Structure 1
Amino acid sequence: MNEKALRILEYPKIIDMLTGYASSPMGKELCRNLMPSSDISEILQGQMETSDALTRVMKKGSLSFSGIRDIRGSLLRLKVGSTVGMAELLNIAATLDVALRAKSYGRREADAEDQDSLEGLFAQIEPLSNLNHEIRRCIIDEETMADDASPTLKSIRRQIKLTNERIHSQLASMVSSQNIGSKLQDNLVTMRNGRYCLPVKAEYRSQVQGMIHDQSSTGSTLFIEPMAVVKLNNDLRELGSKEKEEIEHILDTLSELAGESAVMLEQDIAVLTRLDFIFAKASLSRTYNGSEPVFNENGYIHIKKGRHPLLDKKKVVPIDLILGKDYRMLIVTGPNTGGKTVSLKTVGLFTLMGQAGLHIPAFDHSELAIFDDVFADIGDEQSIEQSLSTFSSHMTNIVRILNAADAKTLVLFDELCAGTDPTEGAALAIAILKTLLNRHVTTMATTHYSELKVFALTTDQVCNACCEFDVATLSPTYRLLIGIPGKSNAFAISGKLGLPAHIIEEAKKNIDVQEQNFEELIADLETSRATIEKEQEELSAYKAQVESLKKRLEEKHDNIAKQKERILNEANEKAQNILQDAKDYADHTIRTMNKLSKSGGVDMKALEQERSRVRDKLNQSNNRKKAAPTVQKAKVYAASDFKQGDSVHVRSLDLKGTVVSQPNSKGELSIQMGILKSRIHFSDLEPIDEEVISTPMINKTGSGKIKMNKAAHVNTSINLIGETVDEAMIDLDKYLDDAYLAHIPNVTIIHGRGTGALRKAVHEKLRKSKYVKSYRLGTFGEGETGVTIVEFK
């Protein structure tokens, strides 16, 4: 990739962000050297590693690589048998600590899914716990060897300690003695040249036997090593040499042990560096909620809700862009500060980031093409030096681009051929774009020239786009609209800012009639687009309501079928019980009669009692039949029984509705059932008496009772789009009353996004309402900021 395009598209700033997430010097070095690739296998491998690292971070938390040291120089010396110092050995131990931590992090659970692309890297890590433990056991810090590093060192240090104690004891007795103590400058023991001495006054030199090692700057004090401790000092010096030799021996042993593992240490440092780099990419993706793009090699770009990663993610407006499938070239027009350059840079930067193995801040399954090179000529002062802002310097860059561009390159132009005569500039821009189009170069350009809008409308493989601008508020929306040319809006903006109308009218006279008609056509297209978007929002809301109603009907039918089956089963079971009871009682009666007959003499009293029991049993059965509810036959109504505005029950659908028309010649009436309206024959209808209800929100007088006719059929949403604030507040107030009386728990208010004035008024109304429990903006799938969800008390 050429350096100029990388700088213009601000790729180095992304690399700086990435480098900040790496922990080790080598990992930061890999980040700084990351460049976009055109090898698809290398790109896909980099993307897969970033995605797998991000998945692990989401599941198990972040993996820290702090502690990795650059031990590559030490490893080179160890390989040739050299001895390294304590600081270098501690650096090896610190790196092995990270290796052990990474090895533990990389272990997968027994029930884990298939291996990911990082499994092999984690498997290559060798923590070398024995070496690490030995270094930590022997070395305390960069200047201190532990006493237990070896038995010999421990013995030497014990002797040094005993010798020091004997020297201090001997000198302390001399200092405290009357004979020597009075001849000392200070009653203390000091060291000179590594030997213990006493500060003796110069005039007593001959009275203190010993070796002079130093004197004070004035010459009044001599530092004498008494003869009584000379041998002890010599012993101490000899023990110090032995200690140093033993430390060198221990370092030799540790270096030899580390040298045996030099190859594995090299592998560890390489793998840990690679993992540090990969997890830095994952951390960067996490900051801007990135996703792995899909790649192709046919020049097709489809960005879904893309956000420029260097802009504030709370304020940036996502863009949707398609390029390279039905058209190879995109011409973006519109007013200044409308987001054209940001859209251009977003496409270029996403391409560079994707081909470098980095995730892009866009929705899942956004698609990018793989290009051999990216060229950009973007003329804003933020990215191009002032000395290069002339037409000639831009043309020099364009010539360089034309010499190198082919079907495997992406070319981005900002304000193509601006800065010169508009007529010549537009003609030159069209010629350049035609040249690139003939070479099948994927191109995106921004412009103010109307001629380029016409060129896009009349040329195959070229498409118009614009950045939306709200003339009412004189502010851009930063939305990129594909297929519609942009309007400069110079007259509208000037009028809003106070330019007199007669000046604007005079300016319009100076515009070619054909060009003015073209601008008016663009304005009509924008109006039609806004209307279509509004209707699509309404259709989406209606579709959601229909789906909800359909689901409720299906659930109701399922419940009816289940209840029917249950009632039939219970009836069959009850009938079986009744039959069995009757059979048992009849058998008992027959047996009793036979018994009385066989007894020889007929006991009339006993027979009469048995007859009475049978009669009582029959009476009980008859009483149960009378008590059982009888199914009344449905009453048949005439067409004249139904009047416009009456509440009715639709038998076949088991729904309530309202009559909205008189019956036709076939006896069919139009019935409004929620959001559905259908023609129903009068034979399928029956009137419903309006319920009279009372509510605590209304006073408890006679006026507190109201008819529940319309409230019973209130829709679960209201659409206020297209209404003024005053109109909307009147409709909303009535709708909230009806919805609350209908006992609807939640309703949706559709107010659209627009300028936000209608949404603000709706929220103010809801805040003051006595029977609104809570309200919130919609989430993804509910309409987002275009709707408000209300919950009643």
Structure 2
Amino acid sequence: MNERVLRLLDFAQIVSAVTVRCQTPYGEERARALRPFATLTDARTALADTEEGSAYYRLKGEAVFARTKDLRSAVMRARVGGILSPSELFQLAETARSVRRFARIFMELSERAEVSRFAERFQALDLPKTLEDEIFRCIDEDARVLDQASATLADLRSSMRTVTQRMRRTIDEMVKSTSVQNYLQDQIVTMRNDRLCLSVRADAAQHVRGIVHDQSASGATYFIEPERVASLGNELRRYALLEEREIERILSELSAYAAPNADVLLEAFEVLGAFDFAIAKAAYAHAERAVKPELDEQPILQLVQARHPHLDLARAVPLDIRLGDSFTQLLITGPNTGGKTVSLKTMGLLTIMGLSGLYVTAAQGTRIGWFDEVYADIGDEQSIEQSLSTFSSHMTNIIRILREASPTSLVLFDEIGAGTDPTEGASLAMAILDELRARGIRTVATTHYSELKAYAYTTPGTINASVSFDVETLTPTYRLELGIPGKSYAFAIAERLGLPQTLIEQARARLTTTDERVEDLISHLTQRVHDAREDHEQAHRARQDVERLREQLEERARIEEEERMSRKKKADEEIRAYVKRSQREADDLIAQLREMATSGAVKDHELTAVRGRMRALAPDPTLVMAPRKRSNETLAEGDEVRVLSLAGQKGSLMSEVGRDEWLVAIGSMKLRVNRKNMELLRRAEKVEAPVVMVKRASEGVSPTLDVRGQTVQEAMVEVDRYLDKAVLSGYHQVTIVHGKGTGALREGLLLYLRTHRRVRTYRQGGEGEGGSGVTVIELA
């Protein structure tokens, strides 16, 4: 892309805005090189990176990178055996830790397809953790080699501290010594050439044995290192040299750790740079409320609610612009300062941004086609050095555009044909536009010429557009309207500003007939468009009113449904609580009856009391809800039914107790239920009469007892009495007919028979005996 065009369209400010958001030198390098890509594939790949950066920004917020310098040259030195500085090594470890941290974060986001590409790249970096661990063990964040880096270094530094303390103690003693104090200028110990020195008067220097390291500017003071301190200083210096060698050995060893991982480290810098750049682009997009454009293979533009990114977000007027679908040329007209040039630059800049892999300041639905080059002739580029006028400068640029542009180029002209005689300029402009149109080159131009407005109406593939203007306030609205040309409003503006009416009338009289017809045509079309827009807005408002009413009705219906469901849920919960409570009380009664049966005979008044409590467990009629449906099928004893008024509880019919009313067994409960509140589930199975061979001792006791239709509690009492009578009658085996039904009665009786004193064994009825509908008992 031509650097001059990028400068004309203010792309450098976009580059700067992205660059300052980068945190690594590798990301900054990519940001500074930001340009439109040479192929559509590369542009889409870069846009995909921006999309992943935006996804990460949305999921995790702004990423934090290790603040390091560019370490690529350091890694290359290590690769060939060079020794890295403590700072370089520490930053390498910081980089490795940063890579590991991002790999861990992406592992947590592994289910997110939005960040899969960077996740794969980070997780592919195989940096050994021992590298960073060893560096952090030896070097701190201030790039100091730590004592713990080696035992030798720790010993040397311990010795150095000991010698330093002896030196300080020795020189302090000399300062306090009366034999030396008389020769001192002051009692302050100073450092000269990294040596501890006394401030000795010049006239007494011969009385202090030692090495003179310096003299004051006045010559009155000598800075002398005492002889006793000097020997210690020499010893300290020897330790310092040994320390330097040991530190160099440690750094060499750590650099050797980095050398085998040079390729992985260099790749890590690339991945960090790409991710840092993607996050910077995402942060810029977030700040500017930019969206991802769709990159199209065809050279088209469809900008939805677009705005120039350098304009104040709150004040910018969005533009809807399209080009290249049904027309290839767009002519924008209107008054000065009306926003024509801003519209032109917005189209060019957003195109370049999209083709550079950036989000654009527009709304969803924005499409940017593939343009291999964007050409622009904008502004006054008069060249004094080349002796070119404004017109000549523009024409030189236009000639170059005509020579280089292709059908996949986007050409932008600001005030095409300006700077010369209006008639000749308009003619030249139409000839240039004809040539570009014939070659299929997408072109956008701004103009004041009335001839070009008429040209757009009569030329296929070319349409007018205008920036509207408020004549009353003399201010542009900056709204771009496709399909109609704009007026210059010169007379209206002059009149509002106070130019005498006579002069305005004289000016109008000088207009040619053609000019008048064009202006009248523009006014007529403008009025028609405004009327159509007003009708459209009224229809839109009406649709909005209907939509609001529909939403209100839906919301009201939703609230009513929620209230109905809430009432139903509450009623269901009350019923379930009642059934659960009744079941619990019934179980207690069963246990009580079992205990009474085990202890001996049941007294009549106790049985009456228990039966009274069982009847009290019948449901409260107020809990019965309206049925959902009613079956017309006839019912019979033993049928399995669903009780609709008890949240669909299942039960079996015992007997009909009234008109359309049945006695229903539900678990351990026996309820009176209206026919309309029941739904037939399954017909009762016929139980064949069992064939039992018994020894009859009494004609009054049958070998078979039928307890169908009774509750578990009632059947237990009945079975207990029957077994006593059967034993007294001499039976060894009897049969209890309980039916199949829900199985609750059978299970309750089996549980009771398991511990009954009269029962030796029991079994389910066999074939021909009644099957699971009966239980055959062998008496004890």
What is the TM-score when the length of structure 2 is the normalising length? Answer: 0.67
Q: 3-state SS of the aligned residue for 1:498?
A: coil
Equivalent residue number for residue 39 of structure 2: 39
Contact 2:317-2:479 within 8 A present in 1 as well: yes
Is structure 2 residue 135 aligned with structure 1 residue 138? no
Q: Structure 1's 229 and 413: CA in aligned 2 closer, same or farther, altered over 3 A?
A: closer
Superposed displacement of residue 50, structure 1? 0.6
Deviation at 1:138, TM superposition (A): 2.1
**TM superposition shift of 1:34:** 1.4
Cα offsets for 1:579-614 (capped at 9, x unmatched): 9755779xxxxxxxxxxxxxxxxxxxxxxxxxxxxx
Shift of the alpha carbon at 1:114? 6.2
Q: Which moved more, 1:297-306 or 1:99-108?
A: 99-108
What is the alpha-carbon distance in structure 2 between the residues aligned to residue 468 and residue 372 of structure 1? 32
Matched residue, 1:732:
none
Q: 1 CA distance for matches of 2:479 and 2:76?
A: 57
**Paired residues for 1:94-243 under 5 Å:** 94-109=94-109, 111-113=111-113, 115-125=115-125, 128-140=128-140, 144-179=144-179, 182=182, 186-187=186-187, 210-214=209-213, 216=215, 231-243=231-243
Other-structure match for 1:527: 527
Which 5+ residue runs of structure 1 have no aligned equivalent?
Answer: 586-793
Contact 1:43 1:355 in 2 (8 A): yes
* Inter-CA distance 383–20: structure 2 relative to 1 (3 Å threshold): farther
- Report the more deviating stretch, 160-169 or 36-45: 160-169
Q: Size of the alignment, in residue pairs?
A: 580
Determine whether 1:369 maps to 2:408: no
CA drift at 1:411 = 0.9
Return the TM-score normalized by structure 1.
Answer: 0.66
CA offset at residue 333 of structure 1?
Answer: 1.3
Call closer, same or farther: CA 1:383–1:549 in 2, change over 3 Å: farther
Q: Distance in 1 between matches of 2:174 and 2:111?
A: 77
Residue 71 (structure 2) aligns with: 71
Aligned to 1:24: 24
Q: What does residue range 421-432 of structure 1 map to in structure 2 within 5 Å?
A: 421-432=421-432
Change (3 A) 1:199 1:325: closer
Give the match for residue 467 of structure 1.
467
Pairing 1:387-406 to 2, within 5 Å after superposition: 390-406=390-406
| 3-state SS of paired residue (2:161) | helix
| Equivalent residue, structure 1, for 2:755 | none
Find the counterpart in structure 1 of residue 281 from structure 2. Answer: 281
Tell me, yes or no, if the aligned pair for 2:99 and 2:122 is still in contact at 8 Å.
Answer: no
Contact 2:303 / 2:362 at 8 angstroms: preserved in 1? yes
- C-alpha separation in 1, matches of 2:176 and 2:471: 100
Tell me the secondary structure at the aligned position of residue 118 of structure 1.
Answer: helix
Determine if contact 1:407/1:442 at 8 Å carries over to the other structure.
yes
**1:206 and 1:540 mapped to 2: Cα distance?**
106
Q: Deviations over 1:497-545 (max 9, x none)?
A: 2333333333322223343133222212211211222222221222233
Corresponding letter in the other structure for 2:396: T
Task: Name the structure 1 match of 2:81.
Answer: 81
The residue number in structure 1 matching 2:438 is 438
Residue in structure 2 matched with residue 7 of structure 1 by the alignment: 7
AA matched with 2:4: K
Q: What is the correspondence of 1:253-272 to structure 2 with a 5 Å cutoff?
A: 253-272=253-272
State the identity as a percent.
40
Q: What's the CA shift for 1:305?
A: 0.6
Cα distance change on mapping 1:444 and 1:574 into 2, 3 Å: closer
- Contact kept, 8 Å, 2:380 with 2:390, in 1: the verdict is no
Match in the other structure for 1:480 = 480
- 1:328–1:437 CA contact under 8 A, matched in 2: yes
Task: Kindly state the Cα deviation for residue 227 of structure 1 after the two structures are TM-superposed.
Answer: 5.7
**1:52-67 map, 5 Å:** 52-65=52-65, 67=67
Residue 80 of structure 1: how far off its partner (Å) = 1.1
Note the C-alpha offset of 1:131: 2.5
Distance in 2 of aligned mates of 1:419 and 1:485 = 21
SS at match of 2:420: coil
Instruction: For residues 318-376 of structure 1, give each alpha carbon's deviation from its aligned partner in whole angstroms, at most 9, with x where no partner exists.
Output: 11111111111111112111111111111111111111111110111211111121111
Residue equivalent to 2:651:
none
Mapping for residues 371-770 of structure 1, pairs under 5 Å: 371-379=371-379, 390-547=390-547, 581-582=658-659
Residues 106 and 505 of structure 1: CA distance in aligned 2, closer, same or farther (over 3 Å)? same
Amino acid at match of 1:422: P
Q: Deviation per CA, 1:165-187, whole angstroms, max 9, x where unpaired? A: 33444444455455555555555
Whether the aligned pair in 1 keeps the contact of 2:185 and 2:200 (CA below 8 Å) is: yes
Q: Secondary structure at the match of 1:463?
A: strand
Residues 1:312 and 1:195: Cα distance change in structure 2 (over 3 Å): closer
1:381, CA displacement in angstroms? 7.5
2:301 aligned residue: 301
Q: Which one has a bigger Cα radius of gyration?
A: 2
CA 133–520 in structure 1, closer or farther in 2 if over 3 Å, else same: same
| TM superposition shift of 1:92 | 2.3
Contact 1:8-1:383 within 8 A present in 2 as well = no
SS at match of 1:481: strand
Determine helix, strand or coil for the equivalent of 1:102: helix
Q: Secondary structure at the match of 1:120?
A: helix
Q: Report the equivalent of 2:332.
A: 332
CA distance in 1, matches of 2:264, 2:6: 38
Residues 459-513 of structure 1 deviation map (CA, whole Å, 9 limit, x = unaligned): 1111111111222332221111111122222222222223333333333222233
Q: Which residue of 2 aligns with 1:740?
A: none
Please tell me the residue identity of whatever aligns with 1:462: T
CA displacement at 1:119 relative to structure 2: 2.2
- 3-state SS of paired residue (1:375): strand
Return closer, same or farther for 1:383/1:338 CA change in 2, 3 Å cut-off: farther
When the two chains are superposed, the root-mean-square deviation of aligned CA atoms in Å is 3.7
CA contact under 8 A between 2:52 and 2:115: conserved in structure 1?
no
Checking the alignment, whether the CA contact within 8 Å between 1:86 and 1:141 is kept in structure 2 is no
Give per-residue Cα distances to partners, 1:60-83, cap 9 Å, x unaligned.
100123503211221121111111
Rate the CA distance shift 1:383–1:441 in 2: closer, same or farther, 3 A. Answer: farther
Partner of 1:670: none
In 2, Cα distance between equivalents of 1:36 and 1:318: 24
Q: 1:389 to 1:274 in 2, by over 3 A?
A: farther
How far does residue 162 in structure 1 lie from its aligned partner after superposition? 2.2
3-state SS in 2 of match to 1:322: strand
Contact preservation (8 Å) 1:15, 1:34:
yes
How many angstroms does 1:550 deviate by?
5.9
Deviation string 1:29-49 (CA, Å, 9 cap, x unpaired) is 221111112301101001111
Q: 1:198 to 1:330 in 2, by over 3 A?
A: closer
Structure 2 SS opposite 1:63: coil
Q: Which residue of 2 aligns with 1:646?
A: none
Deviation at 1:300, TM superposition (A): 1.7
Partner of 1:418, secondary structure, is: coil
Shift of residue 378 of structure 1?
1.3
Amino acid at match of 2:291: S
CA contact (8 A) 1:99 1:126 kept: no
Deviation at 1:425, TM superposition (A): 1.4
Q: Answer whether contact 1:292 1:359 (CA < 8 A) is retained.
A: yes
Change beyond 3 A, Cα 1:357–1:175: closer
Is the 1:124–1:268 Cα contact (8 Å) retained in structure 2? Answer: no
The CA deviation string for residues 662-692 of structure 1, in whole angstroms up to 9 with x for no partner, is xxxxxxxxxxxxxxxxxxxxxxxxxxxxxxx
CA distance in 1, matches of 2:447, 2:397: 17
* AA partner of residue 368 (structure 1): I
The amino acid of 1:533's aligned partner reads R
- 1:153 CA displacement: 1.2
Please say if residues 201 and 220 of structure 2, whose CA atoms lie closer than 8 Å, have aligned partners that are also in contact. Answer: yes
> CA separation in 2, counterparts of 1:273 and 1:319?
35
Secondary structure at the aligned position of 2:436 is classed as helix
**Whole-angstrom CA distance in 1 between matches of 2:56 and 2:314:** 26
AA aligned to 1:529 is V
